Amino acid sequence: MIIRRYLPEYESAVIDLWRRCNLIRPQNNPKLDIERKLKVNPELFLVGLIDGKVVTSAIGGYEGHRGWVNYLGVDPAYRRQGLGRQMMEAVQKRLLAMGCTKINLQIRTDNLGALQFYEKIGYKIDEVVSMGKRLVND
Ligand SMILES: CC(C)(COP(=O)(O)OP(=O)(O)OC[C@H]1O[C@@H](n2cnc3c(N)ncnc32)[C@H](O)[C@@H]1OP(=O)(O)O)[C@@H](O)C(=O)NCCC(=O)NCCS
């Protein structure tokens, strides 16, 4: 797999991947999410390609205190081959180089597969409650 920065030519493949990974929520407009991401830390928006095909994505972010990862998804046909781990390592490496000391994740409580995956690659549950306030409805 080749891991590289997102390019506009990948847009439809990435949105299709997110759909197949069940990562798109009614409140999230994927095109607008991509547009906004390209304005902040675009170098942390990564895709993984096999034979030129987008098979995985991850969006990292850093606000000077914590690093974040969103939209991690691996094409269902390519799972359990270590690609998710490789993508997380790629984001982690870039965040560390930016001075980030800890990565936070938000995972839906019913996403047991993702919870087990993250535990396998070294993440632990923090005893905190995640809260949010929507500022814009897409
Ligand atoms: C979660 C996801 C990214 C994992 O990708 P992947 O490429 O299959 O994961 P890897 O092959 O790198 O697995 C790394 C380790 O996690 C384990 N693992 C992966 N998926 C798992 C699952 N569903 N249940 C239990 N363990 C799992 C693997 O067995 C492996 O363990 P090992 O090191 O002992 O061999 C992928 O299942 C996915 O895209 N899910 C849908 C989208 C999603 O939920 N994203 C996260 C949003 S918070």
- pLDDT 10s digits, 86-96: 999 999 999 99
50 pocket-lining for ligand 1 (C-beta < 6 Å): no
105 part of a folded domain: yes
**Ligand 1 pocket test target in 80, 91, 109, 123 with most atoms within 8 Å of CB:** 80
- Give pLDDT, residue 69: 98
In this prediction, residues 16-22 reach a mean pLDDT of: 98
Query: Are the C-beta atoms of residues 6 and 46 closer than 8 Å to each other?
Result: yes
22: domain CATH number is: 3.40.630.30
- How many domains does the chain fold into? 1
Please give the distance, rounded to the nearest whole angstrom, from the Cα atom of residue 19 to the centre of ligand 1: 17
125 part of a folded domain: no
Tens digits of per-residue pLDDT, 46-104?
Answer: 999 999 999 999 999 999 999 999 999 999 999 999 999 999 999 999 999 999 999 99
Closest Cα to atom 17, ligand 1: which residue?
A: 117
3-state SS class at 59: strand
Concatenating the DSSP letter of every residue in 27-49 gives T--HHHHHHHHTTS-GGGEEEEE
114 part of a folded domain: yes
Find the helix or strand (DSSP H, E) in which 118 lies. helix 112-120
138 part of a folded domain: no
